[in-house]
Amino acid sequence: MKRPHIPRVFLTVTLIFTSSLALASHPRSPQESSAKSKPVALTAEERLMIERAVLSDKRVREIVGEEKPRILIADPETDKAEAEAFLAGTTEKRPSRRVSVAVFNPKTSKAAHVLLSLDEIRVLEVREIKEDDVPFSREDAEDALALAKANPDVRRAVGENLERFNLLESGSDARIPFAAQALPLRSTNPRDPCSTNRCLDLIFRTEEGYLPVRAHVDLTKRTVTVESRQGREKGEHP
Amino acid sequence: MNGIRSLRNCILAIAFGLASASIAGGQVPHTTAVSLDRFFLYCPNAIMQNFPTIGPAQTTWLICWREVAGNNSIANPNGLVIGPVYFRKSPGGPFFRVLWDMRVSDYFVPYHPGNPRFYDLSYFNFKLTSVSAADCPACQGGGPSSPHVCKEVHDRGLMWKDSGGVRRGEELVLWGAIDAYNYRYIQEYTFRDDGVVMGRMGATGQNLPRSELVTHVHNALWRIDIDLDGVTNSVSRLQHLEDPNNIAGTATDTATPLATAQGMVWGARTHDALEVTNPVFKNAQSHSSGYRLMPMVTGGGLTQHYEPFTHNEFWVTPYNPGQFAAKNLPTYVAPNPSVANTDIVLWYKGSLHHQPRDEDGAYNAFGNWIGTAHVMWTGFMLMPHDLFDCSPFYKPCP
C-alpha cells in the first residue's frame, strides 16, 4: 500500500475545509431545508388525556360546577427559556410543552383557565376567568343553529331549505350545498344584552352565494332575531 | 502511516470544528447562539434563505413558522405564526435572533351603526384556509409550503438607484389566509434581503350578509415578541418634532426610553416609531443596533373605537407566556410592569376603513349579493437601524 504524501493530505483537508465554509455561506436550499413537516397539533389521545386531567381536577370543578363543561383546548406552546437553551445547544433536553385550556359551564356562565404540562399531563395552574375570555365552540354554534331552525322568522327568511343547513368549520374545504356559519360578536352598549351575553350571528351560504339573511342569536337568553338589511348610512357618500 | 492518519484526522476535526463554529456563530461574544442542527430539529417548518438568490450569499434568514389551529384562540391565537427567526448579515458572520413569535392576536371589526362588532380571530377559533397553485404560483417564485401556507421568493423592486448604478432587491414572503367565513384575512410576512421584516393584513371576501353596504373597519392587532440578539431588550419611542410656524424650518428627533408597559397613539405628523435595542448588540462602528417598528398605513388613518384596546396603535408589554389577547391589553399594562432591559413584546394595531363600493358587488334580482371585495392592505415594518456596518449591497464598507 502506497503511503499518502503529506501535500495530498493537506490538499484533501483544504478541499474539505473550503467545502465546509462554502456550506456555511451557501447553506442548504430552502426546498431542502423546509422539506420536513411534523404535525404540531395535539393528537386525539392527547386531547382525551387533557380532558380527563381537567375534569378530574377538584379546583376546576369548584369553579365551574359538577356538570360536564365545555372544554376548549389551545394548541401547545413550548417553554421559551427551555427552547432557547435547546436551540443554543446548551441542553439536550427538549423544551417542555404547555397547553392552555378554557373550561366553561354555559348554564352557570362560570369559566376556568387551566394550564397543563403536556409532557406530564399534569395541571400546573387553575384560575377563574371571565366568560369574556372563553371562545365560542362548535357546541355553541350548533346550539345557535338549533335555536335558529326553531324560529319562525328565520324559517320565513331562509325558506324551506332551512333544515338542510349544516355547520361548516372554518378552514374546511368541504363544498356542502347548505352551509351555516357562526360569527361571534360583542356589544359595547350596556343596554344591549350582547354586552354581557354570549351572542352569535348566523349566516347562510348556498351554492349561489350567501342568502340575504342574518340570524342574531343570544345564547344566554336563548332568543333569535332576524336582522333587517342595513343600507348606506345617512351622511355618507353614495 | 498511523501517525499520518492521526494527523489527518486531527486536521480534519479542527477544520470541521472551525466550520461548525462559523455556522453556529459561536465566535462573536454577546450573541445568542443557535445551532443549525438544533434549529432544524426544533422547527418542523424551517426555512434557510440566502440573498441574493443567485451568486454568493450576502445575507441569510433562518425562519421557523407553524400553523396554530387550536380551539382556544384567545389563549393562543390561531393562524400563521412566525418564529423563532434569525438573521445573518454577512456570509461569515453569526446568526442573531430577531423574533421569537410574531402573529396576529385578533381582528376586530366594528360596523358604523354600533353593531355588530366582530372579533374575527379570537372568539371563534378561525383557521387558515387552503392555498393552491392558483394563488401561490411558481411563476411568482411561489410554492405551497403546506396545504395552508404559501412561500414566495421574488424580486422586490428597486433597492437603490444613484448616479453610479442601480440594484434591485429580493424578498421571501410567507402567507396564509384566515377563513372567517364570508371574509378572508391574509396574514403575510415578508423577509427582505436587507434585514427588513414586514407584516401585513389583507382583507378580502364577501360583504356581511344584510349589511353589505354598511361601512366598517377591519383592525388587525399584531403581537410581536421581538428578541434582538436575545431577550435583554429595551424600547424607545421615536418622534420627529417640527413646528410649521417656525420660520427657521428646524426640526428635531427625540428618543424617549420607555420604563414601564404602556400604550401609545401613533402620530401621522411625528413619524412615531418604536425602537428596540439590546445594550450589548452593536455594529463594528460601535453604534447600538436596533429594529424600528413603523406603521405602513393605508388610507391615511388608524381608527379608534369605544373599546380601550383600540385607543392606541402601539403597545409595549413585558413577555408573558399567558398574554396573547389584544382585547386585554389595558389589563396587561395596568400594573405598570417594567419594560427596560427585559424580554419585551410589541403590539401594533393597523386599520382598514372599508366603505363598500360598487366594485365590491351588487344585489341580483333575488336580493342576493353577487361580488367580492378585493384585497385591501395595511401593516407594519420592522426596519434595522445601525445593524449593518454599512450596506452590504453597495460598495465595500469604507
Peptide bond into B52 cis (omega under 30): yes
Residue A207, class by beta-carbon neighbours within 10 Å (0-12 exposed, 13-18 middle, 19+ buried)? exposed
Q: B294, B383 in Cβ contact below 8 A?
A: yes
Residue of B nearest to A130 (CA): B328
- What pLDDT is attached to residue B23? 34
A75 closest CB neighbour out of B76, B91, B319 = B76
| CA–CA gap between residue B314 and residue B335 (Å, rounded) | 18
Residue of B nearest to A115 (CA): B322
Average pLDDT over residues B132-145: 91
Average pLDDT over residues B124-153: 93
The residue written with cell numbers 461569515 in the block is: B92
The number of beta carbons lying within 10 Å of the beta carbon of residue B141 is 17
| Residues B16, A16: C-beta atoms closer than 8 Å | yes
- What pLDDT is attached to residue B207? 96
Q: Which helix (H) or strand (E) holds B6?
A: helix B2-24
Q: Which helix (H) or strand (E) holds B317?
A: strand B314-318
- What pLDDT is attached to residue B25? 34
Which residues from A are below 8 Å from B25, CB to CB? none
| Residues A184, B118: C-beta atoms closer than 8 Å | yes
Radius of gyration of chain A from Cα atoms? 28
- B31/B61: higher pLDDT: B61
- Ranking A111-120, A148-157, B326-335, B389-398 by mean pLDDT, the lowest is B389-398
| CA–CA gap between residue B314 and residue B289 (Å, rounded) | 21
Contact map slice: A 162-201 vs B, CB within 8 A: 168-173, 181-189, 192, 194, 201
Average pLDDT over residues B270-275: 96
DSSP of B64-94, one letter per residue?
A: EEEEE--S-TTTS--EEEEEEEEEESSTTS-
Assess whether pLDDT exceeds 80 at residue A28: no
The number of beta carbons lying within 10 Å of the beta carbon of residue B93 is 18
* Residue B212 DSSP class: T
Q: How far is CA B366 from CA A18, A180, A211, in A?
A: 72, 20, 10
- The predicted-structure confidence for B248-266, as pLDDT tens digits, reads as follows 999 999 999 999 999 999 9
- What pLDDT is attached to residue A125? 96
Residue of A nearest to B365 (CA): A212
CA distance A111 to chain B (A): 13
Quote the pTM value: 0.88
- A235/A225: higher pLDDT: A225
Cell of B234: 429595551
Which of B72, B151, B170 is the best substitution to test chain A (most A C-beta atoms within 10 A)? B72
Average pLDDT across chain A, whole number: 82
Average pLDDT across chain B, whole number: 90
Confidence of residue B15 (pLDDT cuts 50, 70, 90): very low
- What pLDDT is attached to residue A229? 65
Average pLDDT over residues B11-30: 34
- What pLDDT is attached to residue B300? 63
Q: B86, B36 in Cβ contact below 8 A?
A: no
The number of beta carbons lying within 10 Å of the beta carbon of residue B138 is 9
Average pLDDT over residues B162-188: 97
Count of CB pairs separated by less than 8 Å, A with B: 270
Handedness of CA B11, B15, B17, B21 (dihedral sign): positive
- A85 reaches B (C-beta below 8 A): no
| CA–CA gap between residue A158 and residue A141 (Å, rounded) | 17
* Residue B338 DSSP class: B
* Helix (H/G/I), strand (E/B), else coil: B356: coil
- What pLDDT is attached to residue A190? 83
B56 closest CB neighbour out of A25, A84, A184 = A25
Strands B79-88, B96-110: pairing is antiparallel
Which residues from B are below 8 Å from A4, CB to CB? 4, 8
A210 closest CB neighbour out of B36, B182, B355 = B182
Assess whether pLDDT exceeds 80 at residue A22: no
- A137 reaches B (C-beta below 8 A): yes
ipTM of model over 0.95: no
Q: B204, B375 in Cβ contact below 8 A?
A: yes
Confidence of residue A187 (pLDDT cuts 50, 70, 90): confident
- What pLDDT is attached to residue B140? 86
Contact map slice: A 1-20 vs B, CB within 8 A: 1, 3-4, 6, 9-10, 12-13, 16-17, 20
| CA–CA gap between residue A1 and residue A210 (Å, rounded) | 82
- What pLDDT is attached to residue B10? 36
- The predicted-structure confidence for B282-310, as pLDDT tens digits, reads as follows 999 999 999 999 999 987 667 899 999 99
Give percent of chain B with pLDDT exceeding 90: 82
Residue of B nearest to A228 (CA): B210
Assess whether pLDDT exceeds 80 at residue B121: yes
| CA–CA gap between residue B85 and residue B101 (Å, rounded) | 8
Residue A114, class by beta-carbon neighbours within 10 Å (0-12 exposed, 13-18 middle, 19+ buried)? buried
The neighbouring-strand residues paired with B189 are B174, B199
Q: B59, B46 in Cβ contact below 8 A?
A: no
Average pLDDT over residues B123-131: 93
CA distance B360 to chain A (A): 14
| Residues A203, B321: C-beta atoms closer than 8 Å | no
| Closest listed residue to residue A60, CA positions, set A106, A3, A129 | A129
- What pLDDT is attached to residue B302? 78
The neighbouring-strand residues paired with B147 are none
- A236 reaches B (C-beta below 8 A): yes
Helix/strand/coil (H, E, C) string of chain A? Answer: CCCCCHHHHHHHHHHHHHHHHHHHHCCCCHHHHCCCCCCCCCCHHHHHHHHHHHHCCHHHHHHHCCCCCEEEECCCEECHHHHHHHHHCCCCCCCCEEEEEEEEECCCCEEEEEEEECCCCEEEEEEEECHHHCCCCHHHHHHHHHHHHCCHHHHHHHCHHHHHCEECCCCCCCCCCCEEEEEEECCCCCCCHHHCCCEEEEEEEECCEEEEEEEEEECCCCEEEECCCCCCCCCCCC
Enumerate residues 6+ apart whose C-beta is below 8 A from B345: B223, B224, B225, B226, B316, B317, B318, B319, B320, B323
A136 closest CB neighbour out of B11, B67, B123 = B123
